[in-house]
A and B are shown apart, each in its own frame.
Chain A
């Protein structure tokens, strides 16, 4: 379980996060939703420590990541896997080297074992025979899969995904969402997914947090999201015609 407590963050005097508290549960896919520019990515970056919050702190299973000492932070970092919006594969490394990289820098595993683990992870995300391909040679959907393989290679306890299906066609989006959900349940990971895609909310929104202009306005799940009284959330949920028809 991850607890974010009263996170505040400003950039150049502009308040982006205005005191957000949220808990993300183990073995579930926790979604942070909201329209573009509301601070979803900034919240995620605060949680994983890429950005230091002005106020507040983040607990990983009770361990204070924000104010903890270097040793604790390193320990927690080892337990984190992250999938970035544009996959963020290293251009100069091939698929195998990309997936192996977190093991190279965070563990002392011998090469043979690393290779075995890399192949296992690539297989798990449905990729085979791409080990020697460069990132520029594979499709967007495959990059996401490689990104997921890289994120899970060190057996993380916490998995973060920033807009995992941005730039993908609807069908590939759903398979990626499903893959993330499967991995979460299979390995009992605390997964946090940032998205603005209602399809994902319906598919994998076991827990949903709605952000609006730097505030958390609602939390719940895909089961009760359509019944909320929050106007901003309803505007977001029923933005497209299909959802309106369903309503």
Chain B
């Protein structure tokens, strides 16, 4: 509870005593590259394989003459959009970006780079953290959209390669009774998760004290705490928006 209070106070400091707007734009663009572009590879790999696996497993579970083939891809599509892309990729994202943010800020703290900024009168939390959070909230939803596409494409490739269902049925299923709200839901989740990952990791890194060992611990804590927060938020959002 005390930690939560400290976290909220920390979020408050992000919006006080800011630098000029141009500085933030530049910093945010730099962060976008770090957060988004550098995550493309891992997101691509994970998404394509996830789509492939889900397609195979769904087909395996739906062996019944009464269920038409296109239901397989329909299930793949709904799982991808509702859960796999926003949530599973968020866990991957926490491992990649969260640990990176915490490690970077933790190192800056113990090597007194943060003190150096503050001596110059810069609000270090706002200067270092705000661009990361904004960049995360810009880039992660894009990664989710990309991931959803790749996931379904991975499934398509698998069905072509293995012949579980025909390409025609696969596409038919993907389009069948498509609920647009699901995409909005996925994007809402993406915004929330990206905020959680960036802010929790920044908080863990920013308040590191000690040495290299503690930086490592801060990185680990950033990932575990982000994952827990993601899963909690996932449940709450599902209750709130789908129930």
A90 interface contact, C-beta 8 A: yes
Contact B120 A84 (CB under 8 A): no
In the assembled complex, which residues on chain B have CB atoms less than 8 Å from the CB atom of A80? 119
Nearest B residue to A84 via CB reads: B112
Task: Please pick, from A48, A82, A91, the residue contacting B107 in the complex, using a CB distance under 8 A.
Answer: A91
Count residues of A near B (Cβ-Cβ below 8 Å).
Answer: 21
Most chain A beta carbons < 10 A, residue from B115, B118, B120, B122: B120
Complex contact B120–A105 (CB within 8 A): yes
Question: What does the 1/0 interface line of A99-120 toward B look like (CB < 8 Å)?
Answer: 0011001100000000000000
Q: Nearest chain-B residue to A80 (Cβ)?
A: B119
- Residues on A with C-beta less than 8 A from B122 are 105
| CB <8 Å contact, B119 and A48 | yes
A85 touches B (CB below 8 Å):
yes
**Whole-angstrom distance between the alpha carbons of A91 and B108 in the complex?**
8
The answer, yes or no, to whether A74 is at the interface (CB within 8 Å) is yes
Instruction: Flag if A77 contacts B107 (CB, 8 Å).
Output: no
Q: A84-B115, A88-B112, A91-B111 are in contact. List 19 more A-B contacts (CB 8 A).
A: A45-B115, A48-B119, A49-B119, A74-B121, A77-B121, A80-B119, A82-B116, A86-B111, A88-B111, A89-B113, A90-B113, A91-B113, A101-B120, A102-B120, A105-B19, A105-B23, A105-B122, A106-B120, A106-B121
List the B side residues contacting A105 at CB < 8 Å: 19, 23, 120-122
Q: Is A78 an interface residue when CB atoms closer than 8 A count as contact? A: yes
CB distance from A73 to the nearest CB of B (A): 8
Give how many A-B residue pairs fall within 8 Å (CB-CB). 42
* Alpha-carbon gap, A45 to B116, bound state (A): 11
Main secondary structure of the interface of B (DSSP, over half): helix
- Tell me if A50 is interfacial: C-beta within 8 Å of chain B: yes
State the CA gap A84–B118 with chains docked (Å): 12
Instruction: Count residues on chain B whose CB falls below 8 Å from chain A CBs.
Output: 14
Residues of A within 8 A of B119 (CB): 48-50, 77, 80, 82
B112-138 at interface with A (beta carbon < 8 Å): 112-113, 115-116, 118-122
Nearest-Cβ distance from residue B234 to partner chain A, whole angstroms? 33
How far is A106 from B23 in the complex, measured between Cα atoms in Å? Answer: 13
B120 in contact with A88 (CB, 8 Å): no
Residue of A nearest to B20 (CB): A105
Cα distance A156–B58 when bound, in Å?
69
Q: Which residues of B contact A74 (CB under 8 A)?
A: 121
Cβ–Cβ < 8 Å partners of A88 in chain B = 111-113, 115-116
Distance in angstroms from A206 CB to nearest chain B CB is: 24
Min C-beta distance of B6 to chain A, whole Å: 14
3 closest cross-chain pairs (CB), A and B: A77-B121, A88-B112, A88-B116
Q: How far is the CB of B207 from chain A (nearest CB, A)?
A: 14
Q: Which residues of A contact B113 (CB under 8 A)?
A: 88-91
Decide if A50 touches B118 in the complex (CB within 8 Å).
yes
Within the assembled complex, what's the spacing in Å between the Cα atoms of A82 and B118?
11
Known: A91-B107, A105-B19. A84 touches B121 (CB 8 A): no
Name the residue in A49, A73, A88, A102 with the highest tally of chain B Cβ atoms < 10 Å from its Cβ. A88
